[in-house]
Amino acid sequence: MSMRELVTGGAACAVSGSSSSSSNPLGALANALIGSSSKTQERLKEIPNAAAATSHTQFYDDPVAALPGSELDHPFLQSNAQGSDFIRGFRTAHDNGLADAWDEIQRQPHLDRVYNAAPAPPIQPTLDGPPQRVLSSFLHSFVDSSRSGIPLHPTPLPLLGLSQGDKQCIRDRSSIMARHFFADKSEEFINSQVNALLSSLEIDSDSHAKGPMPGRFRELEDYWNESQGILKPGAHAADGWVTEFSQHRAQHGDPDAWAHSFEQQHGAGGWASEFEQEQAQLTLVDQMRGGNIVNLAAIEQTRMLAHTLSQNDDPKFQNSKFLQFVSKMSRGELIIDDNQVKPASGSWATEYQQQFNGGASWADEFVHDEVSHGPAQWVNEFATEREQEPVDDQWVNEFSKLHVDDWAEEFGRQVGEGALGDSSSDNWATAYDEFLNEQVASKERSDASTGVYVFSDMNPYVGHPNPLKEGQELFRKGLLSEAVLALEAEVMKNPENAEGWRLLGITHAENDDDQQAIAAMMRAQEADPTNLEVLLALGVSHTNELEQAAALKYLYGWLRHHPKYGTLALPELVDSLYYADVARLFNEAAQMSPEDADVHVVLGVLYNLSREYDKAIASFKTALKLQPNDYSLWNKLGATQANSVQSADAILAYQQALDLKPNYVRAWANMGISYANQGMYEDSIRYYVRALAMNPKADNAWQYLRISLSCASRNDMLEACDSRNLELLQKEFPL
Amino acid sequence: MPVFKTPFNGYSVKFSPFYESRLAVATAQNFGILGNGRVHVIDLSPSSPVINELIAFDTADGVYDVAWSESHDSVLVAAIADGSIKIYDTALPPHSNPLRSLKEHAREVHGLDYNPTRRDSFLSASWDDSVKLWTLDRPGSLRTFREHAYCVYSASWNPKHADVFASASGDCTVRIWDVREPGSTMIIPGHEHEILSCDWNKYDDCLIASASVDKSIKIWDVRNYRVPVSVLNGHGYAVRKIKFSPHRRNLIVSCSYDMTVCLWDFMVEDALVGRYDHHTEFAVGVDLSVLVDGLMASTGWDELVYVWQQGMDPRA
């Protein structure tokens, strides 16, 4: 989860204009690339029906903390992109355990969190990663373009946000695996392998060869627990296999026999001494865990692999998606060095300039970082981790070490290599650089708008006598972009108007701009903490973000503030909301009034949260029987079907939504996604183009379009896409 | 023959020891380098050429291997790249799974083997250089075997001796262990390159095969391991996995980074019996059915699982 939050960024570090949601291809690729992803590719959406309830108390204490993507559970991982880059860089130069301790914290597996959040029913790991095909196709198109010499502008893969642990995974795993393919290919490589092996033998557990080991601390803890006799709570099998298992045990004799025989030989203390031994080893490993030497060695290794790869002319091999993947990594295009993402060769200069001339100096970044993290927290963490060191000195040391020496060295090395590189790889690198630069730029842009609503510059509706009415009218007509302006004028005039904010949020959502939608909804909730529509919308948003705890809070809040079901909600639940409890309450509500479509809608959302898509689909269908003309409900149904890998059905549902509301930009875009998911890229292009014709500002859709164009081998139209030449695109891809 | 498409890259495929039509498939996103994983349990239908998915389990990191329980027909264990081992019961609904998550390995778990004779235990081989011994009824491992100096890629029980197993490691050795002994009982420095897989002959409990990055497969007699009994050359790249036939003494199947699956008879001069070229990416998982003679399955990074009868074209 942490990696996904970083990459998709939550609201905080999403690429500007696009959202943290996986409804954009960025998110989709992030999901595909870094996994975890039950952030669904297509999003549910809030209900646009107007309804209001009056406000009393705010049921949710800390709306800011609840901002989607605001790292509710990962205070360290402020997703401010520059900030994390900085921290990442800062961490690099370490040569002791701090970095690893942090990694450890970062890498708390998703599962654990899910379990912690809801220990009652073991929720499934919330991951599915539907857009894998997007990644594969993307890699394929990358390969194609490099062969045909057309510089590919990859749609931004949000790799910049990968956590330290993820990067280690990439580096370690790819270097381990890559050795399997190329070990006998070149003398150089064999040497490097032998060296790696020797150094690993030296320290017994190969921190050199495999890179730093983020998992060690956990193991230590496990051993500790073991020695303390704390048993990990195993899941309780509800059925008979345990019994059956015991029977087998009886048949097979005493299963403890091994343990006994071991104890007999080594005495009861055998395990304890093994434990001690390991502790000693761990300490040793920690000491040996140098930072950069290790990493440089790993990079050097993959670099040699890349060289080997380029000499292999077996066509089958050259077509291998995996080898292209590894190759990119080994070029430093995908591998992320500890300091920062390191685009290969010349782009360093560019990036350097962008970062420095662009006004984001290191100092700025640091300040920025501090602000977003809260200086106290940062310092505290730091102090806790390194009590024995004087904080300031250490920091200064690390900082200067990293940015003066390593950085310069790395820079020089990269530039030197770029100059010597062969031309084809240069093309590749250049294309990649451009995209990285774009990333940097767009990140800078998005930093400004982190979780904050950003108003349009020139708004003709400012000064309009009744902008709310005008906005509602425009919304009804489906002129969403215009409606946004009118509604912005309204909320600028009346910042406390919850309805204005709510409608603004819905308009943004329908216009496929989730970041703004969420920001607006947060403002709506501030203004009116008990508005049912807003609560539901936020529940949906958090479901999309897979923030179960927050989603449950909002959905529970919806129930609590509902005039009819408020009595069902037990106040004592507020502090410990479990999925099962909330789902049970809503099922009760549904029994209470089976004709209330809203309850079924919430149930559908809840089932999305637990990934019981069949039930979710059934709930939405029930709701649709009651409200067949609710286009957003059709969209929800479609998104759920798409999530349960029923893309064909999803298209039918989206079609229903579009029949009801032809200007529903999001449904057009979702339709495109569903086609793309089925590999029908040409079709998906047409739908994206249609969506863009309606809202050219839908940045997500531009990115989807780019992917689909690449996947459909329509590189000839990429330029039209980049220049946003809608006229040409519409002519080329009529619907 | 039927084909099953997985959303992620295939890593391992195993026939159920209880149902002849059932298989488990381990998959990982992005070639197992980063991302999610999924375990598929699939069923061949006797009539149609379609493979049905019975159930699938998602994981937060790639799944590198699966092993069916030898004691219960619906239980399987999965090796997760995050270092955990997860136990699933396919008879239970998804929300009751996994039954257990065993987290002791410090790094990726790469191989699992269920003990076919002492059916309550299994082994895990990990990139943390260790092998661990587990039983389902204990929350922690029974023993940790820590001698290898580099990643351990696979561990394999001896089919006759319930306490003996072998492990294959990137330190270029195969080690033979007896779980009653504190350390390894034999070290076979089998190859000059990393050893990725090992397996015992199912008919001769002294024969063991090793597969290496050096593209070769070697058959060893543990009574005299100075010289291999046989060396099988023919793969163009590292040999990823090997498996002795449960039906024919001299038959061995292998899959390789050269994207092929090969069948060998290690006792004859021209050892290569068959070569299957159906995968378009690395072939990394292969298995032979215990219940049906000649039924084979393979998976690879082309996201496909093939099940076919020996001698037939997997793609036909």
Listed residue (A137, A155, A132, A209) closest to A178, CA to CA: A209
Q: Is residue B314 part of a domain?
A: no
Q: Do B238 and A174 touch (CB under 8 A)?
A: no
- All residues of chain A having their beta carbon less than 8 Å from the beta carbon of residue B257 are 180-181
Cα separation, A638 vs A652, in Å, equals: 8
Given CA atoms B277, B280, B285, B291 in this order, what sign does their dihedral have? negative
Q: Do A166 and B34 touch (CB under 8 A)?
A: yes
Mutation site for A-interface testing, chosen from B4, B31, B284 by largest number of A Cβ within 10 Å:
B31
Q: Do B104 and A219 touch (CB under 8 A)?
A: yes
Query: Do the beta carbons of residue A725 and residue A716 sit within 8 Å?
Result: no
pLDDT higher than threshold 60 for residue B184:
yes
pLDDT higher than threshold 70 for residue B310:
yes
In sequence order, what are the residues at sequence separation of 6 or more whose Cβ sits closer than 8 angstroms to the Cβ of residue A463? A489
pLDDT higher than threshold 70 for residue A367:
no
Q: Do B60 and A110 touch (CB under 8 A)?
A: yes
Q: What is the pLDDT of residue A699?
A: 76
Q: Do A234 and B139 touch (CB under 8 A)?
A: yes
Q: Is residue B315 part of a domain?
A: no
Listed residue (B274, B287, B194) closest to B238, CA to CA: B194
Q: Do A129 and B106 touch (CB under 8 A)?
A: no
> Comparing A717 with A204, which gets the higher pLDDT?
A717
Instruction: Give start and end residues of each alpha helix (H) in A312-422.
Output: 315-318, 321-330, 347-357, 362-373, 375-385, 391-400, 407-420
Of the listed ranges A290-299, A341-350, A469-478, the least confidently predicted one is: A341-350
Q: What is the pLDDT of residue A242?
A: 40
> Comparing B36 with A143, which gets the higher pLDDT?
B36
Q: Is residue B275 part of a domain?
A: yes
Binned at pLDDT 50, 70 and 90, residue A510 comes out as: confident
Q: pLDDT tens digits, residue range A217-251?
A: 334 344 444 444 333 333 333 334 444 444 444 44
pLDDT higher than threshold 60 for residue A7:
no
pLDDT higher than threshold 80 for residue B22:
yes
Please report how many Cα atoms fall inside a 13 Å half-sphere around the Cα of residue A576, on the Cβ side: 5
Nearest CB among B7, B103, B281 relative to A222 is that of: B103
**Six token digits for residue A8:** 């998709």
- All residues of chain A having their beta carbon less than 8 Å from the beta carbon of residue B172 are 197
- Count of C-beta atoms within a 10 Å radius of residue A413: 14
Q: In chain B, which residue's Cα lies nearest the Cα of A218?
A: B106
Cα separation, A181 vs A32, in Å, equals: 24
Q: Do A132 and B7 touch (CB under 8 A)?
A: yes
Cα separation, A47 vs A150, in Å, equals: 44
Binned at pLDDT 50, 70 and 90, residue A417 comes out as: very low
Q: Is residue A320 part of a domain?
A: yes
- All residues of chain A having their beta carbon less than 8 Å from the beta carbon of residue B100 are 234-235
Q: Is residue B189 part of a domain?
A: yes
Angstroms from A300 CA to nearest CA on chain B: 18
Domain range for residue B59?
A: 3-309
Query: Do the beta carbons of residue A101 and residue A157 sit within 8 Å?
Result: no
- Domain end call among A485, A508, A528: A528
Query: A557-566, A569-578, A580-589, A649-658: which has the highest mean pLDDT?
Result: A649-658
Q: Is residue A283 part of a domain?
A: no
Q: pLDDT tens digits, residue range A16-29?
A: 333 333 333 333 33
Residues above pLDDT 70, as percent of chain B: 100
Which three-class secondary structure state does DSSP give residue A149? coil
Query: Do the beta carbons of residue A219 and residue A299 sit within 8 Å?
Result: no
> Comparing B259 with A11, which gets the higher pLDDT?
B259
B261-265 vs B251-256, strand pairing mode: antiparallel
> Comparing A246 with B298, which gets the higher pLDDT?
B298
Q: In chain A, which residue's Cα lies nearest the Cα of B83?
A: A215
Q: In chain A, which residue's Cα lies nearest the Cα of B127?
A: A210
CATH number at residue B263: 2.130.10.10
Binned at pLDDT 50, 70 and 90, residue B131 comes out as: very high
Angstroms from A723 CA to nearest CA on chain B: 31
Indicate the number of domains in chain A.
2
Cα separation, A268 vs A551, in Å, equals: 50
Nearest CB among B38, B82, B257 relative to A109 is that of: B82
Binned at pLDDT 50, 70 and 90, residue A185 comes out as: low
Query: Do the beta carbons of residue A446 and residue A14 sit within 8 Å?
Result: yes
Nearest CB among B119, B240, B282 relative to A248 is that of: B119
Q: Do B58 and A127 touch (CB under 8 A)?
A: yes
> Comparing B3 with A452, which gets the higher pLDDT?
B3
Q: Do A232 and B282 touch (CB under 8 A)?
A: no
Q: What is the pLDDT of residue B13?
A: 97
- All residues of chain A having their beta carbon less than 8 Å from the beta carbon of residue B89 are 237, 239, 241
- Count of C-beta atoms within a 10 Å radius of residue A374: 12
Q: What is the pLDDT of residue A225?
A: 43
- Domain end call among A476, A494, A528: A528
Q: What is the pLDDT of residue A313?
A: 56
> Comparing A74 with A507, which gets the higher pLDDT?
A507
Of the listed ranges A71-75, A491-495, A657-661, B145-149, the least confidently predicted one is: A71-75
Q: Do B30 and A33 touch (CB under 8 A)?
A: yes
Residues above pLDDT 90, as percent of chain A: 4
Query: Do the beta carbons of residue B60 and residue A125 sit within 8 Å?
Result: yes
Binned at pLDDT 50, 70 and 90, residue B299 comes out as: very high
pLDDT higher than threshold 70 for residue A402:
no
Q: Do B193 and A184 touch (CB under 8 A)?
A: yes
Angstroms from B83 CA to nearest CA on chain A: 8
Whole-Å CA distances, B167 to A91, A506, A677: 36, 59, 41
- All residues of chain A having their beta carbon less than 8 Å from the beta carbon of residue B236 are 314
Q: Is residue B111 part of a domain?
A: yes
Nearest CB among A130, A133, A183 relative to B193 is that of: A183
Q: Do A173 and B136 touch (CB under 8 A)?
A: no
Binned at pLDDT 50, 70 and 90, residue A437 comes out as: low
Query: A49-58, A158-167, A500-509, B60-69: which has the highest mean pLDDT?
Result: B60-69
Query: Do the beta carbons of residue B265 and residue B250 sit within 8 Å?
Result: yes
**Six token digits for residue B103:** 């987290």
- Domain end call among A504, A528, A552: A528
Angstroms from A323 CA to nearest CA on chain B: 9
Q: Is residue B316 part of a domain?
A: no
Domain range for residue A521?
A: 425-528
- All residues of chain B having their beta carbon less than 8 Å from the beta carbon of residue A329 are 33
Q: What is the pLDDT of residue B128?
A: 92
Q: Do B140 and A215 touch (CB under 8 A)?
A: no
Residues above pLDDT 70, as percent of chain A: 38
Q: What is the pLDDT of residue B293?
A: 93
CATH number at residue A473: 1.25.40.10
- All residues of chain A having their beta carbon less than 8 Å from the beta carbon of residue B238 are 180-181, 183
Nearest CB among B57, B104, B127 relative to A222 is that of: B104
pLDDT higher than threshold 90 for residue B10:
yes
Q: What is the pLDDT of residue B220?
A: 95
Q: Do A177 and B32 touch (CB under 8 A)?
A: yes
Angstroms from B25 CA to nearest CA on chain A: 16
Q: Is residue A502 part of a domain?
A: yes
Bridge partner list, B51? B44
Torsion of CA A165, A170, A175, A176, to 10 degrees: 70
Binned at pLDDT 50, 70 and 90, residue A258 comes out as: low
Query: Do the beta carbons of residue A552 and residue A558 sit within 8 Å?
Result: no
Q: In chain B, which residue's Cα lies nearest the Cα of A134?
A: B7
Query: A196-210, A340-354, A373-387: which has the highest mean pLDDT?
Result: A373-387
Q: pLDDT tens digits, residue range B188-216?
A: 999 988 999 999 999 999 999 999 999 99
Rg (CA), chain A: 27
> Comparing A317 with B179, which gets the higher pLDDT?
B179
Mutation site for A-interface testing, chosen from B18, B39, B58, B110 by largest number of A Cβ within 10 Å:
B58
- Count of C-beta atoms within a 10 Å radius of residue A75: 15
- H-helix or E-strand containing B176? strand B174-178
Q: Do A235 and B135 touch (CB under 8 A)?
A: no
Indicate the number of domains in chain B.
1
Spell A165-187 as b/e; 16+ CB within 10 A means b.
Answer: bbbbbbbbbbbbbbbbbbbbbee
Binned at pLDDT 50, 70 and 90, residue A316 comes out as: low
Listed residue (B296, B249, B290) closest to B68, CA to CA: B290
Angstroms from B295 CA to nearest CA on chain A: 27
**Six token digits for residue A153:** 């502008």
**Cis ω for the linkage preceding A255 (within 30 of 0):** no
- All residues of chain A having their beta carbon less than 8 Å from the beta carbon of residue B58 are 38, 124-128
Query: Do the beta carbons of residue A497 and residue A55 sit within 8 Å?
Result: no
Q: What is the pLDDT of residue B147?
A: 92
> Comparing A81 with A394, which gets the higher pLDDT?
A394
The mean pLDDT of B155-176, rounded to a whole number, is 94
What's the whole-number average pLDDT of chain A?
A: 59
Given CA atoms A83, A88, A94, A97 in this order, what sign does their dihedral have? positive
The mean pLDDT of A651-668, rounded to a whole number, is 87
Q: Is residue B97 part of a domain?
A: yes
Interface size, chain A vs chain B, as Cβ–Cβ contacts under 8 Å: 238
Q: Is residue A310 part of a domain?
A: yes
Q: Is residue B145 part of a domain?
A: yes
Q: What is the pLDDT of residue A222?
A: 44
- All residues of chain A having their beta carbon less than 8 Å from the beta carbon of residue B213 are 179-180, 183-184
- All residues of chain B having their beta carbon less than 8 Å from the beta carbon of residue A210 are 107, 127, 151
Nearest CB among A126, A184, A252 relative to B120 is that of: A252
Binned at pLDDT 50, 70 and 90, residue A265 comes out as: low
Q: In chain B, which residue's Cα lies nearest the Cα of A613?
A: B94
Bridge partner list, B112? B124
